[in-house]
């Protein structure tokens, strides 16, 4: 069987064959075997999920309700960790600033205080 690829894909395959020290035909064959194995596994997974839904072993969930709950939990995590993240960023920036320019110390303290005040007001 002879297979033709577009020039870009053929160049990528040729480069991969050179890098791995394998013949291009052998490389393409291995790629196709892997592709069909993955396709078969995906098909089996989908069939088993469909059978689970059809038999009632698994109940479907409302996608919009799930997404709304996911957004709510993400917001809770952000509210919980945002002040800590702001403090960490301020400390990291302070360390960097001390190394690069000691004249910015007062400005940095004002910026840090205002960021922390804003984040505490928001959360």
In-domain check, residue 85: yes
pLDDT band, very low/low/confident/very high, at 12 (cuts 50, 70, 90): very high
| E strand or H helix at 23 | none
- The answer to whether residues 73 and 115 belong to one domain is yes
- The answer to whether residues 75 and 39 belong to one domain is no
- The answer to whether residues 47 and 75 belong to one domain is no
Half-sphere exposure (Cβ direction) of 89: Cα atoms closer than 13 Å: 12
- Which pLDDT score, from 0 to 100, does residue 81 have? 67
Q: How far apart (Å, rounded) are the C-alpha atoms in residues 80 and 76?
A: 6
- The answer to whether residues 110 and 71 belong to one domain is yes
In-domain check, residue 2: no
74: helix, strand or coil:
helix
Please give the model's pTM, rounded to 2 decimal places. Answer: 0.47
pLDDT tens readout for residues 27-78: 999 999 999 999 999 999 999 999 999 999 988 888 888 888 988 898 888 7
Q: 30 near 17, Cβ under 8 Å?
A: no
Residue 55 Cα to chain centre, angstroms: 34
Number of structural domains found in the chain: 2
Residue 24 structural domain: 7-55
- The answer to whether residues 43 and 78 belong to one domain is no
* Among 33, 31, 1, residue whose Cα is nearest residue 13: 31
pLDDT band, very low/low/confident/very high, at 86 (cuts 50, 70, 90): low
């Amino acid at each position: 069987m002879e297979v033709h690829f577009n020039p870009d894909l053929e160049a990528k395959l040729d480069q991969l064959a050179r890098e791995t020290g394998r013949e291009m035909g052998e490389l393409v064959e291995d790629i196709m075997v892997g592709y069909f194995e993955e396709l078969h596994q995906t098909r089996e997974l989908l069939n088993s999920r469909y059978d689970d839904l059809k038999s009632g072993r698994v109940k479907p969930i409302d996608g919009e309700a799930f997404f709304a709950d996911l957004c709510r939990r993400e917001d809770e995590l952000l509210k919980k960790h945002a002040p800590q993240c702001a403090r960490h960023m301020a400390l990291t920036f302070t360390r960097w600033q001390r190394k690069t320019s000691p004249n910015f110390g007062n400005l940095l303290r004002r910026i840090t205080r205002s960021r922390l005040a804003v984040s505490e007001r928001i959360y």
